[in-house]
Chains A and B, each alone.
Chain A
């Protein structure tokens, strides 16, 4: 299997229609910069977590529309690309304290979900390879827990929303679903509640006060002799 730089040293790509020759094997993001553009929009974490670099492209001789994250995708010869730094959408405002964790809650705030025709365009567009349509379907039948699980790795790039014929803004819907799950459906951590009370009541204050007054030498002695829990618990 050849290494990346062996077969072809450069590739031709088209940035918004303009042809550029760039080194083979670099990411779309770096290729655009190599071509002389400085990103203002369209670059965020550069690591695949923030969805800022949502890209749509076609390949020479291929009618299909492909989607990608520019920072995580290598350039290909004959790539015609454009970036979508923003998917227009209104974020509905709500008070999470006043909501119930049901499908009808989500439907009431984002009624366009009912228009989902199960065409699967969203799933095909997702650069994280999530089961986007299934997640929307779970909401329609009221299974908030399953929907939260399916959409957890969503980075809100908006490519699904751009492609959706029902004009659903998936990432806004998913944000609500996840918060409903985390706040109302996931079981609460009891030990956490106990510890918060203990801290409030000052249980650790004296110990901490003593530690704060210690010299580095004294601290080092304590530090070197402390017992360490093994990673397996």
Chain B
């Protein structure tokens, strides 16, 4: 294949320097940052703290909340539909539980609603792309749970709070760590293939900010393996999935404090459908395709923050949207894979981050925000990054160290997706290091929920409305740890599913369908002078023509 070109000569020269220092570095352990040092590093070099990148939301239940401009532009935007054009009397789908989003959170919510007693034919998952097209599939490194004798959920709790800069909702964190071992067991019983020792003991690796090695993984396809088993189970149970039909607006009743359904839109035929549901679960994921601060992203094609927009219009509170997670190791070379995720597990297995001089500059397993900031400082502050032929800056992730430390064949076996990704371009990661730079990865904040997965508005819970997964905020505070996202979607997907089922079984009737919340919202938008051509939800990023090239290089003048 003509694309197997490997590294250009000058980069090979830099690689020689990395090879020269490797033997010495194998014995080196870079010093960890103190809490204060971490904060200082973030304030100076983390993109979240850059001037002029955020503004406060001007309207709605969370007015005053600081969010990136890209986020504010979608929240302060007009609906895609005009209520006068919509015939709400013609109901196309009438179900007990409507789930918006079919990633790990949405699918586990559906399965647990079914386990809790809702018949499969009364559950409907609606999704923007195909069933399972979500960030879940691309999670690679692992899922956390404190299930070894030298570990405990309390320890896990502490790791999460510290990682999140203590901004997390402690109630949500408690439930997360308590449910974690059960979730792993549930996955094992479903048939998920975890990396295990011959006697069945889970192989658990370290992760950034975790004080115990508790990442359970399925090679480096953890998210894919979990997602496809969940999909199989949901389909076996007869749960219906509507594909290519995103929700473009929620429906509320006269009280204004209950969600009663959604308007779905067939992206191919351009028709809309009215879905009435006793309970609605929002599981729409993150916002990588907003390319905040022009960063490339690890996220899937549909990650455009639709759910936050829809929830805000019906009165949901938001939190921590000022905390954007940049994954430290996004691919920086070659251009074809720019921004794609290189799992943290590579560092868990021993690879170090190294600058152009072949020296370490940060402990590889600091929390993600610290490592990202350190890499940006190394490339743009100290000018010790390597520059690719297309002008992208990056540092080395010394992948050959993995086989040296863990034994020959460890990379091919446990990091087979990284190996494969690079071999397609003529690079053998067991022999040559790879170039990395931070990439937009995760939405730390989002819609406010309680520990039952119920969505919270200004007056407490919004009836009939639940949410789970990346779309929600509070679990991770200002910075999520590796392996807690896969955990969150399953823990809270399950809780939302069970809560929704209990709500339905309590004997509620379907609610009245109105779009009353829309004119109110539109009035607010007009008051602050939002241009009429700004509309949301975005549904798909605009990549046609030259635009697809412009996302290629993150311009980062500090």
Taking residues whose C-beta sits less than 8 angstroms from the other chain, chain A's interface range is 35 or more
CA distance A154 to B250 in the complex (A): 36
B200 and A188 form a contact (CB under 8 A): yes
Query: Which A residue sits closest to B364, measured CB to CB?
Result: A231
A46 at the interface (CB under 8 A from B): yes
Is B191's beta carbon under 8 Å from chain A?
yes
Nearest chain-B residue to A96 (Cβ)? B191
Instruction: Answer whether A182 and B149 are a contact pair too, CB < 8 Å, given A30-B549, A44-B129, A212-B170.
Output: no
* A190 touches B (CB below 8 Å): yes
Q: 0/1 per residue, A29-45, Cβ < 8 Å to B?
A: 01001101111110111
The A104-152 residues at the B interface (CB cut-off 8 A) are 128-129, 148, 152
Query: In the complex, are the beta carbons of B211 and A91 less than 8 A apart?
Result: no
B16 at the interface (CB under 8 A from A): no
Q: Mark B162-186, 1 if CB is under 8 A from A, else 0.
A: 1000100011011001100110110
Residues 215-226 of chain A, each 1 if its beta carbon lies under 8 Å from chain B, else 0: 010011011101
Q: Does residue B8 face the partner (Cβ distance < 8 Å to A)?
A: yes
Query: Residue B155 contacts which of A5, A50, A226 (CB distance < 8 angstroms)?
Result: A226
* Total interface residues in chain B, CB < 8 Å: 106
- Pairwise interchain contact B188-A204, C-beta atoms closer than 8 A: no
C-alpha spacing A104/B172, complex, angstroms: 46
Q: Is B192 an interface residue (CB 8 A)?
A: yes
- Chain A contact residues: helix, strand, loop or mixed: loop
Partner of B158, one of A45, A187, A190, A226: A226
Chain A contacts for B188, CB-based, 8 A: 182-183, 188-189, 192
Which residues of chain A are within 8 angstroms of B547 by Cβ–Cβ distance? 33
B216 CB, min distance to chain A CBs, angstroms: 9
Task: State A139–B549 Cα separation when bound (angstroms).
Answer: 45
Q: How far is the CB of B71 from chain A (nearest CB, A)?
A: 21
Contact of A211 among B157, B390, B417 (CB under 8 A): B157
**Residue numbers in A under 8 Å from B348 (CB-CB):** 231
Q: Give min CB distance, B364 to chain A, whole Å.
A: 9
- Report if B372 contacts A (CB, 8 A): no
Residues of A within 8 A of B416 (CB): 153
Q: Which residues of the partner chain A approach B546 to less than 8 Å between Cβ atoms?
A: 34
Pick from B111-119, B311-319, B335-343, B522-530 the stretch touching chain A.
B335-343
- Establish whether residues A211 and B132, one from each chain, have CB atoms under 8 Å apart when the complex forms: no
Contacts of A93 in B (CB 8 A): 235-236, 238
Give the distance to chain A from B195, nearest Cβ to Cβ, in Å.
10
Q: Which residues of A contact B (CB under 8 A)?
A: 1-5, 23, 25-27, 30, 33-34, 36-41, 43-50, 52, 72-74, 76, 91, 93-96, 128-129, 148, 152-153, 155-156, 175-176, 178-184, 186-193, 195-196, 199, 204, 207-208, 211-212, 214, 216, 219-220, 222-224, 226-233
17 A-B contacts (beta carbon < 8 Å): A4-B334, A40-B540, A46-B300, A48-B417, A52-B130, A73-B1, A74-B336, A96-B191, A179-B191, A187-B199, A192-B181, A199-B153, A208-B178, A211-B170, A211-B174, A227-B211, A231-B350
- Name B residues whose Cβ lies closer than 8 Å to a Cβ of A: 1-3, 5-9, 32, 34-35, 129-130, 132-133, 135, 137-138, 146-150, 152-155, 157-159, 161-162, 166, 170-171, 173-174, 177-178, 181-182, 184-185, 188-194, 196, 198-202, 205-206, 211-213, 219, 221, 223-225, 228-229, 232-233, 235-236, 238, 244, 267-268, 298, 300-301, 334-337, 340-341, 348-350, 365, 389-390, 405, 416-417, 420-421, 424, 540, 542-549
20 further A-B contacts with Cβ under 8 Å, apart from A49-B138, A74-B336, A223-B159, are: A26-B549, A33-B543, A34-B548, A36-B544, A40-B267, A73-B1, A74-B2, A95-B236, A153-B219, A155-B224, A175-B232, A176-B232, A189-B200, A211-B154, A211-B174, A216-B166, A219-B166, A220-B162, A227-B211, A230-B206
